[in-house]
Amino acid sequence: MVKNIALVLIVLSLFGCETWKFINSRGDMSKYVPKETRNSIFPPIIDVSSDNKVYFTYSSKKGSSICSVELSQLTEDGGRDFYPVVSHNGEKVLFKRGYIFGIRDTLWIVNSDGTNSKIIVDKDMRILDVIFSKNDSTIYFIGGALFSDSTSVLKSYSYCQDVFSVDINGNNFRRITYNCATGWIYDLKLIDDNHILVSIGSEFDFDGRISDNYKRIKKYYDKNQNGFYRKPYPKSFLGLINIRTGEMEEIKTTETSKPYKEPLTRWQKKNKYPIPLLINSAYSQKEDDFLYGNYDFYKFSYTDQTIKYSFTNDSIGIFNYKFVYNQNKLIGVNTNLGVTELILFDVEKNKLERRFEIDTTKFLPSTNRTIFSNE
């Protein structure tokens, strides 16, 4: 049974012929990992540093004792570590420790060589999307659920989410927003030193855990109880958060549709314009915009607040991708018949350039061990 997850990095030669194949699994990984392999990469969430090192999570039966010319282990065996995020200067890596689908996580930071791993957030809360500030001194993340006036978890509303910040040394923990979003919040993007872009999902005004017949029982707090009340968000939108004040405003985007041939089908009419949510989007240093989508791809420009159709690739779905630094190429994840692989995709040519593959049975124990410390 797979019990441990370790954070590792692989240095990819973009002109070589290696590939990495891994299992796309959900929940209890032991149900999905083949007995003859007992190794997998999960979840398929990656990050790419400015020197084009790819960071992801690797899981094996023994933890993650793996090492090769291409592979370096960052965290020790025995942990449940996932969701790596690399700093802009490539010197630090953030990761979460906990259960992938759990409601409580801790946030850790480690040097990119695997040394000096420290816990920086250890509170009774979930931790979702995580990003570094421009100068890598502050960390912003989506977390929840908290009361509006404290850092205590509100157990009955586990999907109450807000944006928080903390220094990389674990000091100055701060709750930035007090919106208690109960729909999903996606993809934090740092626009400048004072503003964060975030995607907010629509909400329902009833709570199924309270009402089994879907009567519209409000799940938002009344002013007379916990000092918090707002109306639910009826539709999804892009929000711009002021880091200093915590105020959020909706960005009014202009969308261009995918060019369909007339006459349009009912589905095409309904989905003519993209939903303004940057789900799993990737920032392009070369173009200074955000690319998102899996088959139909769109670009969001913050400067003119437009979402424009970019291209369609019907032959391959690309997920959880990041741009190769300062290039118009993506390193991402493709899943086919339950097998997930890491790929390199050329955006300009709209073409799969190569697959990365490494034989997971040939890993040797890593000499790069991490001793965890709370100091």
Greater confidence (66 vs 322) lies with 322
The model's confidence at residue 279, banded by pLDDT at 50, 70 and 90, is: confident
- Asked if the structure places residue 207 within a domain, the reply is no
What is the reported pLDDT for 121?
92
Q: What tokens were used for 82? A: 């996932």
What is the reported pLDDT for 148?
45
DSSP 36-75: TT-EEE-S---EE-TT-EEEEEEEETTB-----SSEEE-S
Percent of the residues in the chain that have a pLDDT greater than 90, as a whole number: 22
| Cis amide linkage into residue 263, ω under 30° from 0 | yes
What is the reported pLDDT for 112?
80
For tokens 């910040």, the residue is 165
- Asked if the structure places residue 110 within a domain, the reply is yes
Question: To which H or E segment does residue 319 belong?
Answer: strand 319-323
Is a pLDDT exceeding 80 seen at residue 367?
no
- Asked if the structure places residue 218 within a domain, the reply is no
Percent of the residues in the chain that have a pLDDT greater than 70, as a whole number: 62
Q: What tokens were used for 247? A: 């105020």
pLDDT tens digits for 141-167? 998 755 444 444 444 444 678 899 999
Cβ-proximal residues to 94 (8 Å cutoff; 6+ apart), any chain: 83, 84, 85, 86, 87, 107, 108, 109, 130, 132, 139
Cα atoms found within 13 Å of the Cα of residue 106, Cβ hemisphere only: 14
> Residues of 17-52 as b/e, b for ≥16 C-beta within 10 angstroms?
ebbbbbbbbeeebeeebeeeebbbbbbbbbbbbeeb
- Asked if the structure places residue 229 within a domain, the reply is no
The answer to whether 214 and 201 have CB atoms below 8 angstroms apart is no
- Asked if the structure places residue 305 within a domain, the reply is yes
What is the reported pLDDT for 67?
26
Structural domain for 278, as ranges: 4-201+236-362
Kindly report the backbone phi and psi dihedral angles of residue 252, in degrees, each rounded to the nearest multiple of 5, phi listed first.
Answer: -90, 100
Greater confidence (363 vs 310) lies with 310
Q: What tokens were used for 297? A: 């791809």
Phi-psi region of 194 (alpha: psi -120 to 50; beta: other; left: phi over 0): alpha
- Asked if the structure places residue 210 within a domain, the reply is no
- Asked if the structure places residue 87 within a domain, the reply is yes
What is the reported pLDDT for 36?
39
What is the reported pLDDT for 99?
62
The model's confidence at residue 68, banded by pLDDT at 50, 70 and 90, is: very low
What is the reported pLDDT for 76?
61
Mean pLDDT across 94-99: 79
CATH, residue 179: 2.120.10.30
Number of domains in the chain: 1
Helix, strand or coil, per DSSP, at residue 23: strand
Is a pLDDT exceeding 70 seen at residue 293?
yes
pLDDT tens digits for 298-332? 999 999 999 999 998 878 888 889 998 889 999 88
The model's confidence at residue 281, banded by pLDDT at 50, 70 and 90, is: confident
DSSP 188-237: EEEEETTEEEEEE----SS-TTT-TT------SPPHHHHS-------S-E
- Asked if the structure places residue 208 within a domain, the reply is no
pLDDT tens digits for 4-32? 334 444 444 443 323 333 322 223 333 33
